[in-house]
Every structure is written in structure tokens, then in C-alpha cells.
Structure 1
Amino acid sequence: MSGRRLARFLLSAALLSLGVGAFGTGSIRLSSYPTLSVADGHSTVTISAEVRQSDGSKVADGTPVRFTASGASFRESDVGTVDGVARAVLVAPNEPGFVRITASVTSIGTVNTLDVEFVKDRAALSAARRYVEISSEASLFYSNQIGVFSAAAPSRGVRLRYGDITINASDLQLDSAGLVVVAVDAELTVGETSLECRRLRYTLPQRSGFAIATVDGRLAGCELKGAIASVAEGGVDPAAFEFRDVGTSQTSVHAASVVFFPNREIQFRHAQVFVGDTRVMSMPLYALKAHSGPELFTDQVIGFENGSLQVNYPYYLNLSPTFTSALRLRSGQNYGRGASSSRGFFLDLESTYLAGADGEGSVTLSGIGRSDMSLSFRHTQRFGERSSVSALLDFPNFNSIYGGINAYRSFKGYTATLSANSSSSFSGEKYESQRADLSVTTDRKPVPGLPGTYSVGLTMNTSRASFFGRRTEQSGYGLRAQWVMTPQRLWQGAVLTNSVTLSQLWSGSDAKPFGVVATTAVSTNLNNRSNLRLAYDYTKDSFTSSFFGSHRVTGELFWSDSNFLASVFGGRSLDMDSMNVFADVSYLLGPQWRVGGVFSLDRFRGETVEDQTLLLGYRMGLREIAITYSMRTGRFGLELLNAPFR
């Protein structure tokens, strides 16, 4: 898109936004850093909540934001905003999976959620940085609705690269969900070893697969480890080499080359967006969220919700695996559940980069030209397989500074982890705070005769703060022991998990109360597309138990059948007035019509944030027009281009 077309778009969007009034109550924009961490019981993730009024201005300093988490804990759960942002430090759970974060602001009646993923070990963190590159001398396209890349070019004109794996083929498909390649007339190269294949099926992360190739002078069905082939004694099923039918996908993106970051983003060069056989848009650079479904580019850019125009337009300045830069125009974004939005225009300059094989980060200048313009910096650096450092630096409103660092070092038999953060104001009311935590923990070892592992460690921390003339300072040290049970099968499709952390801390010569954090959960499949998870958390320490109670139960349900779709999350403290429930439901009335709703409830000590939004949607091809009704505001709304409640 030319600069003139971009300017015309910005002007049109600005005029449209001025003519539309929103009836949202404000918004909470949640983010996490690092975005992916290890479930080791002591790593930390910084959760940031940017809180704005309905007119787009940031809330006053000191506005309380309450954070809760399912299956994990915060060091501080009730945090006041500074320059419109509240930050809380989340301590990693002992078991891998997703932790549901809830942030609520009672004063503006807004609540939002964020899922943070924790992986099993550090190796999974390294794997998450890998990406797939595909180029073709002829045809290359991505089918949105089924998540498949297809490429074809004679004389092995298709090239795929994933780390040290390279596949040159005449015809190739890649399944984006499992990273499984199916190819015809292919050459597989892993490191320095190559193999000629008539047919190939290869799983990239596992570096294994099947092929029809020549081994020991004869053509045979083979099993592959790396690029080493051995004859499969039972033969190879020909169906393994069949291509997916991509004709069922109504939308596709054609390109000269593609870079695919699994579960994150797809980058296209010389992109052409198609609906059926009709080309609707061409762009030199284009990016799409992975597994985004059938939405068109326009659905991601512009919408109408809560009585306001929504704009989220990225203009890419550079797009490559190692460096991406974009100007992003935002307005009326719904950072919250239900009738939550903030007016105002925001122009952001976003850059992400990879620094060699072991570094990555981002720099964002947000709200360019506004009085609350801010700068943020993120960087993660690995030093071999044993060490890594993650750092963040924020300048909200250019009125204060916030910095944080997480450092990890693995030794023989034990691991050391350091986390620290500091903040200070430049003007206005003077404040500053610092905190540092150091833990040294043994590697997990099996417990003889028991289905699980244990670790023990030392921990030390120090903190000080000065707010509005008040100064606080404290330090402590202690012992910590962790137990993680090996998942136990209860019945077909059901698994029991359990973890316990015991701690004893001292501050000077004074012993603090003995601490216990325990989680027991049962997960089961209800059918081939539905599942249920129930969990019980017991927490006894000097802060968290007094704030949220010692006993808490949570449940997560995902249900899907031919007509009904539901996603429900609920949590309740058994010994304190604290509860939150979130539900998204949808029911198909026919091929075009459906009804649905988004329901939210967050309650704490008599204060409640509540919203129920009902929806009636009519689908026209790939788009949907929806009439909504907010029970909180008592108003009807119209949503065009896409209906977000799915």
C-alpha cells in the first residue's frame, strides 16, 4: 500500500471515529513478559495491566487493580496503578499448562483475562523460537480455514527450511498444527545427511517420519530418524502420503515466500488475499496470526462493537524472520470482556527482532503524539543451554521508569534463579521501589516407592519502597521443598495431578508462619472435542491466604458438539468472599443464525464487577452481523464485519 493510500486510510478512519460514540465503561489491556515460561515453581512472569477510562485517558495513580490466577500465585495481588499501569509478579506453577489470569478494576467496572503458558522444561522454550521458511518458484498459498500450506513447482522448485532441516520438493504440504510435511519428489537434508524420496511424510519437531525411498539399492517403504532411512518391516501405509483437500477453504493467502512461527504468526511476502477464486487485496508485506480461522484481512483491521468503530491497522515497514517493524493504528479496542472499550486514537511503532541464534526482543513506542506516549523494551538472551536472562524496561508517559530482570543458570545438580525489579518516578509525587529474589534449587529427583519427584532449595529476598513519604524495608531468607506427582490415570481419558510446595522463611531472627501451597486437579475428556478440569488449591502463607483465603476450587469446561459451543471458567474461595466466573456460549439455530452470550462475574469482599452480553448473529458468507444487548448498560448494539464472541 502506498504512502498516499495509507494517509487516506488514516484520515477516513479518524473522521469515522469522531462520529461514533461508545458506551463502554473503560478497558484493561493485559500483557505478560516473558510470554512463555517454565513450570518450575520459582520462575516469575511480570503481568502488566494498562487501565483506561472510556474516553481513552489513563486512570488516576493509585487506582486499585486486583489480580487472581488459577493454579498459581502472585507476590502481590492488589496493586495500584502508576501512570495508568499496574504490574504484578506471577510465580510459576509446578505443573505445565495454561494459567488463567484475571484482572479487575471495580472503580470503572471492568474485568479482563489472559492465559499465560508454562512449559515443562527449558528445551521447550528454545523450541518455541523456531520457525519454518517456505518459498516456491511457482505456487505457494495458505488455506486459512484448515491451516495448511501448499506449494508446487517443477524440478523441486519448492524449498522448506526448519532449523537444520531442509526439504526441496516438487509438491509439498505443511500442516500448521502438527508441523507435518507431506511431499512428492523430495530431497530431505538434516545437517550434512541427505536422502532422495519419491514420497515423504516428515514431522519436523520430532525429526522423524516415513518415506518411499531407495535403501540398499532397492525402493522400499522406510522409517526415518533424521535423514537416516531403515526399511519398515511392516511396510508403510500409502494413506500416510495423501495430501489434504484444500478446496474446502473459502479463504487463502498466496505469496512468493512464507515465514511461519508456530502458534504465533505467519509472515507473507508479496501477498495476495483470495476469497474463493477472487483476489480481494494485494500487499508487499502481510502478517496473520497463526490459526486465526477464516477471517479476512478487513475483519482484523476494522470492526464495530459496543457502539464504537474499532480500528487495528498495521502498516508493515519491514517483515522478515529476524526483524519486523510496523506502524499500528488503534482505536476503540475492546480490552475487556463484554461492554468494555476506550475511545481515542493510538499510533504505535512496533519492532520485534531476533539477535543471532540466542537473542530476541521488542521495542514499542506507543501513543505517538499523545500526552501519555510511552516506550517499552523487552529482551531475552540465552547463553548456551544452561543460562538465560530476560529483561524489560518501561517508560510509561515518560513520567516514570520500571525495569525488571529474570536470570537463570543451571549447574550440575542444581539451578540458581534471580528476579529483580525497580521503579521510580521522574516528576509529580515521588515514589520508588526495589525488590530482588534469589533461589537455589536442586534438580528434581524421583522419590523411591512414590510416583513423583522432589526438589529442595534456599531462597532469599530483599525489598524496599517509598510512596508518598512512607518508607518500608524488609528482607528474609528460608528453605523451600517441592513435590510434583507423576500424572496418574484414573480412567479412560482422565488424569490426576498433584503438587506441593513447603516453605519456612525468616526475617532476621523472627520465623514467619510455615507456608504450604498445594494443588490437586483432575482432567477428563467428555467426548472427542470436549474436556473438563477441576482443581483444588490450598494456600497458607502470611499474605496470600489472608487476602484470598486458604481454600479455593476452580473448574474449566470446554464443550463442543454440532450446534453448541461453550467455554466456562469458574473459581471460588471456600473461606472468603471471593469468586469469578466467565462463560462464552454459542448455539447454532441454523446454517446462518445463532444465539450466544458472554457472561462475566468477578466478586471480592462485597465488591462486584459484572457483565452479561447477549448476541443474535446472522452469517453472510464469511462475515457475520450481530445484534447485541448489554444487560449492564441496558443498551442494544450492532456489530459489523465480525462477531467476536466465538
Structure 2
Amino acid sequence: MRAARSACFVALAALGGLGAAQTAAIRVTAFPQVSVADARSTVTISAEVRDGSGRLALDGTQVLFSTTLGSFREPITTTYNGVARAVLVAGGLPGTARITATAPGLNAESITDFEFLSDRGLLASANEYVEVVAPTYLAMSLDQKILGATGPKHGAHLRYREVQLEADDLQFDIQAMEVRARRAHLKMGKVDQAFDDLYLKLNLRKGVGTGAYQAPVITGVIPQGRWFSVVTESRARYGLVEIRPGGLSPSRKPATPSDFEFVDYSRSATMISAKKAVVFPRREVQFHKAEVVADGAKVMRFALFQVSLTGPTPILTEQIISVNDSHLAVNYPHYLSLKPGLTSLMRFRTGENIGRGMGASGGSFLDYEVAWNRGDRSEGGFTFSGLNRSDSNLSLRHYLRMDDRTTLSAQLESPAERSIFGSLNVNRQFAGYQVGLSGISTRSLRGVPYANQQLNLTAETDPIKAGRLPVQLYYGLTASSNSLQSQFLDRSQSAIGARLRSQLLPRQLDRVTRLNASCTVSELAGHNSPRGLSMQGTTSVNRRLGGGAGIAAIYDYLNDPISSPLTGHHRLTLQSSYEAKRSSVSLMANRSLDADRSGYQADLGYRVSGLWRLRFSQSYDRYLGSGFLDSSALLSYRLGGRDIGLSWSRRDRRLGFQLLGTSFN
């Protein structure tokens, strides 16, 4: 079997040139992978741009960046050695930002989502994992994100931090972080107890269970001075108990039927069975001795396998090999090592669908990837992409929680081995305030001399309540230094000043409407730095419309001497979604009210019948008189567990053939 997989891997590499479409593509990555909505944290957004043949785009190719949360220091940049980079500064509102990178000259666009957390303490939970082992039976529904395990005589094992659970049967709802078990034994804090039925909210360490427990019982009364004393002894009882790390107590309310009820996921389109699974609830699941089951048929086996928990969930076989716009698309990972602390693999990819259209990118790539993780203490990775190409890319990244108050993240890249890029972020919590230092640097190794450095330092107090107002205030100091040296230019800039950030505590306007807002004001002065007051503010209103629909309106105000002349001062963003049995709609539109910049993205889906589906996607981005419009349509037919369809792309202006997993339900 091992030799067969290796032969398959070599064969895929040999087929790399088949079906490469002439479509420019952008790959967008973010580092770090998650950040805090504190109006000062920075994220490096990198956009690797390649032309239709897979070659890196020429230096100077313009790339426009936009985001629905936060702001870019320089929203318009150009490529250097095929990569354009922009620094995203966090806003004051938590949530998922939709980041768009557009290369108008190449008619290419790519979109990625980035999560801003409400509190820095949540960063640690992003790296936690749950380990499940069951030699008899272990399977996960990729559709419902539920993992089940069975083993006689407590043969199914689950471990999460200090929580250890052994059971005959258990189910783990990954998205809800809930465990249900039968005939189980739980060890957690002071709890070391057997249960007939068990429900546990893992991340809260709370739950209920049925089983025997010790309860105090009054056995008599004895005189004690002028008073009497009650004599009690501990006796075994059976019933419903509340579970907490400190111990057990009789439940004050009855259990609901859903507390102990297992979910039936036997009809899931895609299942993965294994001997062991390691679940990172925010990212991925790693499987040992995995077997992929599609529509009840065993289709693939892997000694080691990994699936993502984010994004769409097509049939797994189509994640590896599919037909995209009449071209072969391959993304084949060959795992060398897969365990909670270390993952290494070789990946072959070609014909990728990067962006929102139906087109396939050109070029074939052989990558070597290593990722490591030490729980909530550290994580990182190394990637050598394009081993088979002259324009290969080296990338190293690492996150480290040095102690309970200090975190560090660093990144190092060498695009095409012609330049080197590095970034560093350090945050330290002191008594009553916190300090953050961020820096990026780019330097050429070959060719035309080029060097660019940026350094930013921010100190900010912990939140202070603004009297009786539902507002928190943060006072701070900020300093920055920038320099740029090239063959024709040598300039530097430095600034220092004070800042004030205000954060509205989220307000519930009614049962279905929620208001949130934040504002940051800064006063800077320094060498070659624009003087004056700068301000950034955001207000959002979210409303549930009922019937599976919702809408959000976001207003952004930016008064910054550097960015405002490019993007304007006022921006309005609208987001809406609707889900029904036969149709789905997702819309996002933004417009600068005092600058020529606007854009929208629309996704429409309709189920014509049980077998036929329609899908339409369109995106538009306009800046200073020039615009980029891309749209695609798909008519698909369900054949077994797969969709076969005809596609049309405005970019290619021709019909294409698609063989894919389910696009929408």
C-alpha cells in the first residue's frame, strides 16, 4: 500500500502539465493567523501573484487591498519578486474580516477571511486540541462536524487538557465543543466518577450526568452544650448530578432530552474512519490510519490524513483530484509525519481554483511543508514551495507564548530566493497597561538594490470605565519609524505621539438588533511626518431578519494623512445572507463616499430540483476610474454523491466542464 501511494504521487507529478489554464491567480496568506481587535495589533497580508502560465508577476504589478474590518496602512502596493504585501491594522470590533486582493492589470482577484478576537486571552484557545482514540470504531461526519467513537469496556478515549474521558460510546460535537457519552468514566479536577449517561461542555468544564454519587444524610441529633448538633454521614445515591471541576452536586433542574441524545450522522455524504483523531476545533482534524467513505463506499485509505474545518466541505476525493474548468486540478498531500505536535508532508498541486471564478490557475508545484505545535505555548511552520521550479519560495513562521504575559510572532520569507522579508510582533502585559512592538523589513539579495523597514511601538492602558456610560477608554503612546532605500530613492520618516481609544460595550437595541462601535484618536509629530490629528472609527449594526436571513451595516471613518487621500474618509459596507430550502444568497458591498473606490461580491444558489442546481457568482472592484468585473455561472447535475456541471466564466468567455463535490445544499 505504501509503494502504491508513492507511485500515485509520482504519477501525479508527471501529469502536472495537463490542463493548465491561462488564468492569472493570486494566493493570499496572513500572518499571524488570528489577531485581537484592539485597534493596534498588525497583521501582514501577502499576495503572491502569478500570470496565466504560473510564472511570478513582473515587479511593479499593482495590487489593491481592502477589508471589511480594520484598515490597511497602504491599501495600494506593488509586487516585488512576485509578492505584494500590506499591513492590516486591527480595528476595534471583533469578528471575521473579509480581505480582498485585486490585480486589475491581470484581471485577478482573491479573497480570504481573517478572524479578529475580542480578547487577547482567547489566542491561547486557538491552539488547543482534543485527542480521541478508539481501536474498535472511530468516525467523523465531515458534513456535520461530529466525531463518534465506540469501544467495549471503556474502549473509547477522549483527552482535552486535564479532562480524561473513557466510555463505551461517545460523540464529540466539534463546533459546539460538546461531548455526550454512555457508560463513561470521567476524570476532571476533583471529579473521578462513573456515569451511565454524560453530557459535558468541554471548554467550560461543566455538564450533567446520571450515576451514583455520595450525598450527606442526617442520621441523628446530639446535644452540644446548650444546643444540639446534627449528625450526618455520606451515603450513596443515584440520580442526575451537575458536573464541575470542583466536584459533583445534585442537579437542581431536570435534564432535557437533548442533553444525552446522540446525533444520527449515518447518512452523511462523506465520512472518515480512523483509529485516532486529533481535533483542533478552530482549524483542522488529523487522522491516523484513515479511511475515506463517500456515499457508503470506501474510496481511499491513508496512513496519515488531515482535513480542514473551515471553508466549504466538498467530497474529499474532489479536494484531491477534480476537473476544474475543463482542466485537471490536483492538490495531493503525501503525509510524512502527522501527530499533535508535528506535521510534515509533500504536496503536489496544479490547476488550482484560486479566487471566486471558475478558472484554473497555471503551473505545477511540488511543496514541502512542516508545521509544529506545542499546545497553547507555541506553533509555527516551514514551507518550501515550488521545489520543481526556479521561482521557488521559502517561508518560516513561528508563534511563541514566552510566559503568561508575553507573546511573540515572527515570519521570514525568501520569494524566488531573490529577496528576504521578515516581520516581528511582540506583546507584553504589565500591571495596568500593555506594550506592543511590531516591525517588518524587506531587502533584496540579487538584482536592483532595495531595502524597506517599518517599526512601530505602542503602549496602552487596560480598559477604564467611562463613568456611567457603556464605554471603555484606553489611553496610550505610540511611536513609529520608516525607511526606504532603492536605486533612485532614499527617504526616512519617524513620529511619536499620544492616542485615545474608546470602545462601546455592545448594545442590544432589541431582540434581533445589535449595535457596536469604536473610535481611536491619535496626535503625532516627528521627522518628515504629517502633523495633526488622525482618527479612525467604526460603527456596526447587525440585525436578524428571520427566515434564515440577516443583514449588517458597517460605517468606517478614517482621517489619516497617508491612507485617506487614497481610500477616502468615509466608507460604507453592507453584508447580507439568506438561506432557505431551495435557495441561498450572500451579498457584500462597500463604497467610499468621498473617493472613487467601490466593490461588491454576490453569490446566488438555487436548487431547481433534487438533482439540478444553479449557481451564480459575481465580484466587482473599482478604483480611480478603472474597474475589474468577474462573474461565473454553473449548472450542475447530482450524479451519485458528486456534481457534474457546465460552467461559464466571464474571464475566459467560454464554457467549461466541472466535476466537483456538492457546491451548496
TM-score normalized by structure 1?
A: 0.97
1:275 correspondence with 2:294: yes
Equivalent residue for 2:106, pick from 90, 97, 108? 108
- Equivalent positions of 1:241-640 (< 5 A) are 241-290=260-309, 295-355=314-374, 358-508=377-527, 512-527=531-546, 529-640=548-659
Offset of residue 147 of structure 1: 1.8
2:150 is matched with which residue? 152
Is the 8 Å Cα contact of residues 570 and 580 (structure 1) preserved in structure 2? yes
Match of 1:22 in 2: 21
Letter of the 1:538 counterpart: Y
Q: Is the 8 A contact 2:13 2:348 kept in 1?
A: no
Whether the 8 Å contact between 2:128 and 2:376 is mirrored in structure 1 is: no
Per-residue CA distance 1:98-154 (angstroms, 9 max, x = gap): 111111111101111111101011221101110110001311111222221111111
The residue that corresponds to 2:220 in the other structure is none
Q: How far is the alpha carbon of 1:621 from its aligned partner?
A: 2.3
Distance 1:407 1:510, change over 3 A: closer
1:326-384 Cα deviation digits (max 9, x unpaired): 10001111222215442111000001002475111000000002111111000000022
Distance apart, 1:289 and its partner CA: 1.4
Q: Aligned equivalents of 2:163 and 2:506: distance in 1?
A: 33
Determine if the alignment matches structure 1 residue 171 to structure 2 residue 172: no
User: Is 1:7 the counterpart of 2:41 in the alignment?
Assistant: no
The within-5 A match list for 1:180-191 is 180-191=178-189
Structure-1 residue corresponding to 2:116: 118
Q: Secondary structure at the match of 1:591?
A: coil
Q: Report deviation, 1:197.
A: 1.4
Whether the 8 Å CA contact 1:405–1:419 is kept in 2: the answer is: yes
**Distance across 1 between alignment mates of 2:134 and 2:317:** 27
Q: Which amino acid aligns with 1:489?
A: Q
Question: Percent identity at matched positions?
Answer: 36
Q: 1:445 to 1:412 in 2, by over 3 A?
A: same
Contact 1:72 1:92 in 2 (8 A): yes
Q: Aligned equivalents of 2:314 and 2:6: distance in 1?
A: 22
2:266 is paired with a residue of what secondary structure? helix
Contact 1:144-1:292 within 8 A present in 2 as well: no
What is the deviation of 1:469? 2.6
Equivalent of 1:218 in 228, 237, 240: 237
Shift of 1:227: 5.8
The DSSP-based 3-state class of the residue aligned with 1:640 is: strand
Larger deviation: 447-456 or 186-195? 186-195
Q: CA deviation at 1:561?
A: 0.7
Q: What amino acid does structure 2 have at the position aligned with 1:108?
A: L
1:69 corresponds to which of 64, 67, 70: 67
Higher deviation after alignment, 500-509 or 589-598: 500-509
Q: Distance in 1 between matches of 2:487 and 2:548?
A: 54
Which residue is equivalent to 1:198?
196
Cross-structure match for 2:77: 79
Measured in 1, the distance between the counterparts of 2:577 and 2:296 equals: 35
Give the structure 1 partner of residue 223 of structure 2. none
Whole-angstrom CA distance in 2 between matches of 1:171 and 1:73: 48
- Assess, with a 3 A threshold, how the Cα gap between structure 1 residues 151 and 4 changes in structure 2: closer, same or farther: closer
Q: Does the Cα contact within 8 Å between 1:66 and 1:79 map onto a contact in 2?
A: yes
**Matched residue SS, 2:203:** coil
Instruction: After TM superposition, give the deviation of residue 512 of structure 1 in Å.
Output: 1.1
Which amino acid is the alignment partner of residue 309 of structure 1?
A: L
- Stretch moving more, 540-549 or 509-518: 509-518
Q: CA deviation at 1:69?
A: 1.4
Which of 254, 260, 265 is the equivalent residue of 1:235? 254
1:527 Cα shift?
1.9
Per-residue deviation, 1:572: 0.3
Q: 4+ residue runs of structure 1 moved beyond 6 angstroms?
A: none
Distance 1:511 1:108 in 2: 34
Taking a change above 3 Å as real, the CA distance of residues 488 and 635 of structure 1, as seen in their structure-2 partners, is: same
Q: Is the 2:358–2:647 Cα contact (8 Å) retained in structure 1?
A: no
Q: Answer with 44-53 or 59-68: which moved more.
A: 59-68
The verdict on how the C-alpha distance between 1:520 and 1:148 changes in structure 2, with shifts beyond 3 A counting, is same
1:305 Cα deviation after fit: 1.8
What SS is found at the alignment partner of 1:137?
coil
Q: Distance in 2 between matches of 1:644 and 1:85?
A: 31
| Cα distance between partner residues in 2 of 1:510 and 1:98 | 32
- Return the letter of the residue paired with 1:415: Q
Q: 1:535 to 1:219 in 2, by over 3 A?
A: same
Question: C-alpha distance in 1, partners of 2:99/2:200?
Answer: 37
Rounded Cα–Cα distance in structure 2 between residues aligned with 1:12 and 1:536: 48
Q: More deviation in 464-473 or 389-398? A: 464-473
What displacement does 1:229 show? 1.3
**Structure 1: distance between partners of 2:105 and 2:254:** 67
Cα distance change, pair 291–146 in 1 and its aligned pair in 2 (3 A) = farther
Change (3 A) 1:509 1:610: closer
Check conservation: 2:399, 2:408, Cα contact below 8 A: yes
Change (3 A) 1:273 1:73: same
Equivalent-residue separation in structure 1 for 2:43 and 2:57 (angstroms): 24
CA distance in 1, matches of 2:26, 2:302: 32
Partner of 1:94: 92
CA distance in 1 between counterparts of 2:368 and 2:9 reads: 17
Distance in 1 (alpha carbons) for counterparts of 2:246 and 2:6: 48
Larger Rg: 2
Whole-Å Cα distance in 1 between the matches of residues 528 and 19 of structure 2? Answer: 63
- What do you get for the CA RMSD once the two structures are aligned? 1.7
- In the TM superposition, what is the alpha-carbon distance from 1:255 to its structure 2 partner? 0.8
In the alignment, structure 1 segments of 5+ residues that lack a partner are none
Q: Residue type of the partner of 2:293?
A: F
TM-score (norm 2): 0.94
| Shift in CA distance, 479/507, structure 1 to aligned 2, threshold 3 Å | same
Deviations 1:218-245 (A, max 9, x none): 0121112226211112232344111111
Cα 1:644–1:330, aligned 2, differ >3 Å: closer, same or farther? Answer: farther
Partner Cα separation in structure 2 for residue 549 and residue 239 of structure 1 = 52
- The number of equivalent residue pairs is 644
- 1:120 maps to a residue whose letter is S
Residue in 2 that maps onto 1:139: 137
Distance 1:640 1:509 in 2: 56
Deviation at 1:303, TM superposition (A): 1.6
Letter in 1 for 2:69: G
What is the distance in 2 between the residues matched to 1:18 and 1:121? 47
